[in-house]
Structure 1
Amino acid sequence: MPHAHARVTLAHEVDFAGWRTATRRLVMAGQPAGRIAWRIDARMADPIEDQGAEAPEGDPFHVSRALLDLAETVIQARDPDRFALLYRLVQRNAAGERDLPTRTDDTDIARALVLAQAVRDDTARLRAHLELPAEDVAIGQWTSESHVLVPNARFLTVQRSLRPWAVSTPDETLLWTGRSLHLLPPGTAPSALPTDRESWEGTGLTLRPADLPRPALRLTEGLDIARIDSLPALIAAARDCLICAMARQTTQTVFSDGRPGAALMLVGEQPGDQEDRVGRPFVGPAGQLLDRALHEARITRDAVYVTNAVKHFRFQRRGTRRLHEKPTVENVTACAPWLAAERRIVAPRVLVMLGATAAGAVLGRSVTIGRERSRPIPLADGSTGLVTVHPSFLLRQPDEDARTREYARFVADLRLARDLLPAATLPS
C-alpha cells in the first residue's frame, strides 16, 4: 500500500529540532522523500504536529556525526528544497550508505556541500559587518543570503556582553531581552526593549538554544574579545575557544574563579588534571596548598580573582595517566586575549604572578623568578604586579626543611600583596 502524503510544519526556518524529530519518525516509517511536504509556520508560534505521518514501523537507526554536522549547516541555507535534500541523505545513510558524507561526487552530497559553504560565507559576513550600537539596548537591521541570524544569536549576545538587542531582517525579527530569545514576524522590531522576561511571554516564539542548529563557524571566530566587558559573557565565549589545537585534547576550558571588582588577582600557569575535570582553577594539590597559604596570609579566597595564563590543560599521556607538560609560547600567546580581557574587566589593584609562565604572560618578557620575586612592579594599567613561585614549586621540594622554608617565603609574598592594597579593600 503506498504511503500517504505527509505534511510537516516547522516552527521557523532553522527549526533543526523539529526537522530531526520529523525526519526520524518518517524515515522509520519508510516515508519516501518525494511524498513529504515541508512548510514553515508563518505565525512563528508554537510548533505544529506533523500531519499525515505514519507511526514508526522500522527499527531505530544511526546517523553519522559527519552527516548531522552537515545537516546543521545546510538547514541554514536559503533553499526551499533543503529539508527534502537532507531527509534524502538521512534516509540513504540509514539504509546502509555509511560512507555517504565522504562521497563528494554524489549529487546530493555535492549540492549539500555547496549550500554549506554558502552558509559559512554568510556567517562570516554577518559577524564581520552586522554592527550593533554600543548602547545598553541595540536595534539593528540585516539582509542575509542565508538563514544565519538565529544560529548566531549566541555570538551576538556574547559580543554585546549579554545586553539586550534586536535585529530585523526581511524574514523575521530576532529579539534578545537580556534573559530570553524570541523570534517575531518581520516588521515587528520594538522601538524599546524591556529587560524583564515576563513582558515578552506569549510574544512570538520563545527559542530554546538547545533546539537551534549550531552556527557554521565556532563562537570565537570573528569575535572581538576586546569589546566584551562582562565576565559572564567572557566565560561563555571562552567555553568554545579553539584558538589553539591544545583545546581539542582537553575536557573543557578552565577559565577563572572569582568576581569582577576583586582587588587582588592571582594568575597561575595552566589548569592541571583535576582542574580540567572539574572546570575550576586551583582545585588540585597545588590549589589546596594555595588555599592554606592564603588563609595564613589572612586573605579570603572568595575575595580574590584566580585565573591562569593558559586556559587548557597541556599534558602527555602515559597509559591512563595525564602528566603535566609546560605550555608553549604559542599556547600563552593564544590565550593572551582572554587574560587581557580578564584584567580589563576585573581591574585588580594588585596582580600576583604565580610562576615564570604567568609572569611572562603578564609582563610580556622572559622572567627569572629569583631576580624579580617579592618586589612590587608597576604595571601599565596602573595596578601593581608581584612575582612569586607557583604553589606546585613547593610540592616539588626535595625534603621537609626545604618545603617549610619555601612555604614560609610564599606566605610572606602573599602578605606583601595584601599590604600593597589600600586599607579595607580586601576582607580577611
Structure 2
Amino acid sequence: MPHTVITLAHPFDFARWRAATRDLAGRHVPTDAITWQVATPDAPPPPPPSGENSAPFRIPRETMQLAADVIQSALPDRFALAYGLILAHVIDSAPDAADLARMHEAAETVRAESLHLHQNLFSLMQPEGEGGTWHGTLDARTHAPESNARFITYQLSLAPWRLTLPDRELCWNGRKLLDGPADAPTPIAFNSLPPPAVPVVTDLDIERITSLRAVALAAKTCLVCPMARHATQTVFGEGQTTARMMFVGEQPGDKEDLAGRPFVGPAGQLFDRALEEAGIRREDAYVTNTVKHFKFQRRGTRRIHEKAGRDEIRACAPWLAAERRLIRPHVLVMLGATAASALLGRTVTIGRERSRPIGLEDGTTGLVTVHPSFLLRQPDEASRTREYERFVADLRLAASHLAPTDA
C-alpha cells in the first residue's frame, strides 16, 4: 500500500485530522501507512481528502471526544494514536492496550488543565491598561488553552485578551484568534480546534458576561439537558439589544429548530401579524423563549412538540436571565403559562392573570397573555377571530406601558 502524507495547518488541527481520518479509515488504511505532519509557515497545507471513495462510518461520541482530547495533548504521535483509535472502531478490533493507556493518561492531563483554566480564569487573567484587554500567564503542558479559547472569549465578553504560555502566546484581538511565538503569531480558525475536554458552559459565569452576543454564542454550545442533544440547534433570542419590549414564549418549535430563529413557524407568522396590527414593529422588540431547544416526540417522520418540563426550564434559566439583564426591557410580555410561570417564579393560570399589568422586581412592567399557538388550536373560525382580537388587544395594552419617548 502506498504511503500517505497528511499535512495539518497547525499542531492541534482537529478539522483536517478529522477530514483525513474520515477518508483514510473509511478505506481501512493502516496507521503505519500514514505520516502526519504540520505545515511550515511558508508552505500552507493542501486541501484535505474529499472522502468520496470511502465507506461512511459512525463513531460514538465518547470515542471521538477521546481522540480530540489526545490531539490536544503533548504526545508527539498524538495524531497517529487518535487515528488508530478510530480505525480500530471502524474495523471492529481492539485498540492496542498500551496505546489506549497512553491516550487515557494524556486525556486526563488535558481535562485537568481545562478544568483549571475554567475554574481559575479570573485569577489567571487580569485587566491590562485601560483598553479593555485582559492578560494572563498559564504554565500549560498541553494545547488545552487553544481548545478553551471559546470559553475564554465568551467569559470575557468578547473583549481582547492575551494568554502567555511557556513556548507561545494565545490571543484574541477582538476579531481573530492568534497563536504562536509572541513576535509572530498566526491566525487560527475556531472551527479547526478540537472540541474541548470540558464543555464550554461548564463553570461559565453567565452573570459576569456583559455582551449579549457572547451569551448567545455560549448558549449555542449548551448540552446541559438531554433535550439539547436531540434538537438540531440552540434557538436563542433575537432583536435589538436596546429593545424596550421583550416577548418570551415557551420553546422553539419544529420550524424554529431547523431555522435557528424564534417564532418563524405558523404561530410565529400569526404573532408577526398581530404585532403589526398592534402597531409594534418586531424589529424594535426582542423575541425569545424560556427554553432554547425544541423538545419533541417522533411519530413516524413528524416531530411533535412536547411541553418543556421543570428540568429543561431550570437548565435554560441562566440564559433567559442573561437576556433579560442585558436587554433591560421596559415591558416584558409573557406568552403562555410556561413563560409566565418561569419568569414570575410561581404557577400561573392564564385566565386569572391575563391582561393585567404586573410590576416586576426590576422595575419592568410585565403582562401575561396567551401563546400565539393557542390561537391556532381554536376549534372554529369564530373562536379564532375572537381570540386573535383579544390577543392583539393585549399587545396594544403592553405597548401602552412604554414611556412616550420609547414608543
Provide TM-score, normalisation by structure 2: 0.87
Is 2:343 aligned against 1:362?
yes
Question: In structure 2, do the counterparts of structure 1 residues 34 and 250 end up closer, same or farther at CA, with 3 Å as the change threshold?
Answer: closer
Alignment counterpart, residue 133 of structure 1, candidates 117, 120, 126: 126
SS in 2 for 1:133: strand
Cα distance in 2 for residues equivalent to 1:324 and 1:281: 15
Tell me if structure 1 keeps the 8 A contact 2:31–2:83: no
1:111 aligns with 102
1:46 to partner: Cα distance: 5.2
Question: In structure 2, do the counterparts of structure 1 residues 108 and 375 end up closer, same or farther at CA, with 3 Å as the change threshold?
Answer: same
1:35 to partner: Cα distance: 9.2
Cα distance in 1 for residues equivalent to 2:276 and 2:196: 45
Tell me if structure 1 keeps the 8 A contact 2:9–2:45: no
Tell me if structure 2 keeps the 8 A contact 1:9–1:47: no
Tell me if structure 2 keeps the 8 A contact 1:139–1:165: yes
2:154 aligns with 158
Cα distance in 1 for residues equivalent to 2:103 and 2:300: 41
Cα distance in 2 for residues equivalent to 1:284 and 1:9: 45
SS in 1 for 2:248: strand
Cα distance in 1 for residues equivalent to 2:143 and 2:359: 50
Cα distance in 2 for residues equivalent to 1:209 and 1:35: 26
SS in 2 for 1:288: helix
Alignment counterpart, residue 210 of structure 2, candidates 229, 240, 245: 229
Task: Tell me which amino acid in the other structure corresponds to 1:116.
Answer: A
Question: In structure 2, do the counterparts of structure 1 residues 423 and 165 end up closer, same or farther at CA, with 3 Å as the change threshold?
Answer: same
Cα distance in 1 for residues equivalent to 2:18 and 2:359: 57
Identity value in percent: 52
1:220 aligns with 201
Question: In structure 2, do the counterparts of structure 1 residues 301 and 184 end up closer, same or farther at CA, with 3 Å as the change threshold?
Answer: same
5+ long unaligned stretches in structure 1 = 189-202
SS in 2 for 1:65: coil
Tell me if structure 2 keeps the 8 A contact 1:269–1:354: yes
Alignment counterpart, residue 250 of structure 1, candidates 218, 221, 231: 231
1:422 to partner: Cα distance: 0.5
Is 2:278 aligned against 1:292?
no
Question: In structure 2, do the counterparts of structure 1 residues 213 and 278 end up closer, same or farther at CA, with 3 Å as the change threshold?
Answer: same
Greater Rg over alpha carbons, structure: 1
SS in 1 for 2:144: coil
Is 2:170 aligned against 1:174?
yes
Task: Tell me which amino acid in the other structure corresponds to 2:262.
Answer: P
1:369 to partner: Cα distance: 1.2
Task: Tell me which amino acid in the other structure corresponds to 2:375.
Answer: L
Deviations 1:207-262 (A, max 9, x none): 11222212112221221111122121111111111111111111111111212110
Question: In structure 2, do the counterparts of structure 1 residues 30 and 311 end up closer, same or farther at CA, with 3 Å as the change threshold?
Answer: closer
Tell me if structure 1 keeps the 8 A contact 2:14–2:68: yes
5+ long unaligned stretches in structure 2 = none
1:54-133 alignment runs, 5 A limit: 60=54, 65-66=59-60, 67-89=63-85, 96=91, 98-100=92-94, 106-131=97-122, 132-133=125-126
SS in 2 for 1:375: coil
Task: Tell me which amino acid in the other structure corresponds to 2:72.
Answer: Q
Deviations 1:30-55 (A, max 9, x none): 7874995x7767xx8355669xxxx9
SS in 2 for 1:253: coil
Bigger shift: residues 284-293 or 27-36:
27-36
Provide TM-score, normalisation by structure 1: 0.83
Tell me if structure 2 keeps the 8 A contact 1:159–1:224: yes
1:304 aligns with 285
Q: C-alpha root-mean-square deviation of aligned residues, in Å?
A: 3.0
Cα distance in 2 for residues equivalent to 1:248 and 1:412: 39
The count of residues paired between Structure 1 and Structure 2 equals 394
Tell me if structure 1 keeps the 8 A contact 2:31–2:80: no
1:17 to partner: Cα distance: 4.3
Bigger shift: residues 326-335 or 75-84:
75-84
Is 2:247 aligned against 1:266?
yes
2:138 aligns with 142
Bigger shift: residues 81-90 or 284-293:
81-90
Tell me if structure 2 keeps the 8 A contact 1:11–1:46: no
Question: In structure 2, do the counterparts of structure 1 residues 296 and 63 end up closer, same or farther at CA, with 3 Å as the change threshold?
Answer: closer
1:91 to partner: Cα distance: 5.8
Task: Tell me which amino acid in the other structure corresponds to 1:388.
Answer: T
1:352 aligns with 333
Deviations 1:386-418 (A, max 9, x none): 111111111222222222222222111111111
Question: In structure 2, do the counterparts of structure 1 residues 40 and 171 end up closer, same or farther at CA, with 3 Å as the change threshold?
Answer: farther
Question: In structure 2, do the counterparts of structure 1 residues 424 and 9 end up closer, same or farther at CA, with 3 Å as the change threshold?
Answer: same
Is 2:273 aligned against 1:322?
no
Question: In structure 2, do the counterparts of structure 1 residues 47 and 140 end up closer, same or farther at CA, with 3 Å as the change threshold?
Answer: farther
